[in-house]
């Protein structure tokens, strides 16, 4: 199985998004798509005179922000992607975490930072996803989860992709997890496309993070990716859609 995660910059560029959806639609294996949409959510928040708040790549979600991200992620972006996939002959079905109890989460406890209505995944409904895939449907998951008590929660899309890949792997599937974003891979210098790190293991990641080579939003992405590898996901590749299609990008390994 393939789990493909596409991020905000891919979603904001129509040509790149179309290429990513072509890539997804062209997968021979059963496939699940996970999308974010933070850039679009930021635009909507600013249009409402609200300032997005982020700490180490993670969003602070208050009541107003939760309303906006639910509208953007589970509404306009999710249904746009589903419609585009249907146009490609791919029978997609859009889901939030509340739909079919697809993704159960719990509100993140308040520690040094109060993330508001941020959700930490408790369980992914692998039997549901498996059943949909067996029916020939391709799930499109947005990063809105629920706590089974009526509260919707905003969950990092990379985490959704990681937990989905892990759940399918634990259900006995061989799973490849692709993280698609705007860069050719994880780079030593964000201004130099030639500085892609083609292989990365946990020790080297810790070293790069300590030195500040890897920082910001790349940290939760790689944390999630290495968590997936440790949990039995067969392979994880990070890169642009062009890199993924050509077999390039940054490939993660356990050691």
Tokens at residue 138, please? 């391709």
Residue 180 confidence (pLDDT): 94
CA distance 251 to 249: 6
Neighbours of 227 (CB within 10 A): 16
Residue 122 confidence (pLDDT): 97
Q: For all residues of the chain together, what is the average pLDDT? A: 93
Q: What is the pLDDT of residues 167-198, one digit of tens each?
A: 999 999 999 999 998 899 999 988 888 899 99
User: Which regions in the chain score pLDDT beneath 70?
Assistant: 57
Residue 28 confidence (pLDDT): 95
Residue 85 confidence (pLDDT): 98
Q: What is the pLDDT of residues 197-219, one digit of tens each?
A: 999 999 999 999 999 889 887 88
Residue 158 confidence (pLDDT): 87
Ordered domains of the chain (ranges, CATH)? 2-252 (3.40.1160.10)
Tokens at residue 124, please? 């992914």
């Amino acid at each position: 199985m393939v789990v493909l995660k596409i991020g905000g910059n891919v979603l904001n560029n129509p040509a790149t998004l179309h290429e990513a959806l072509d890539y997804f639609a062209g997968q021979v294996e059963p496939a699940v798509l996970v999308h974010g949409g933070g850039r679009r959510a930021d635009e909507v928040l600013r249009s409402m005179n609200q300032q997005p708040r982020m700490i180490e790549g993670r969003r602070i979600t208050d009541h107003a922000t939760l309303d906006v991200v639910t509208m953007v992620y589970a509404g306009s972006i999710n249904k746009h992607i589903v419609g585009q996939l249907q146009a490609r002959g791919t029978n997609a079905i859009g889901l939030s975490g509340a739909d079919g109890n697809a993704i159960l989460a719990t509100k993140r406890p308040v520690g040094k930072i109060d993330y508001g209505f941020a959700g930490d995944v408790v369980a992914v409904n692998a039997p549901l996803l498996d059943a949909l895939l067996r029916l020939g449907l391709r799930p499109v998951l947005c990063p809105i989860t629920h706590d089974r008590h009526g509260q919707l929660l905003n969950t990092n899309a990379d985490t959704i992709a990681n937990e989905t890949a892990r759940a399918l792997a634990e259900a006995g599937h061989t799973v490849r997890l692709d993280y698609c974003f705007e860069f050719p891979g994880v780079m030593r210098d964000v201004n130099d496309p030639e500085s892609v790190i083609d292989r990365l293991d946990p020790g080297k990641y810790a070293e790069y993070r300590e030195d500040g080579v890897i920082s910001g939003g790349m940290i939760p992405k790689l944390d999630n990716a290495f968590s997936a590898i440790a949990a039995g996901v067969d392979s994880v590749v990070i890169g642009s859609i062009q890199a993924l299609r050509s077999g390039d990008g940054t490939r993660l390994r356990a050691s």
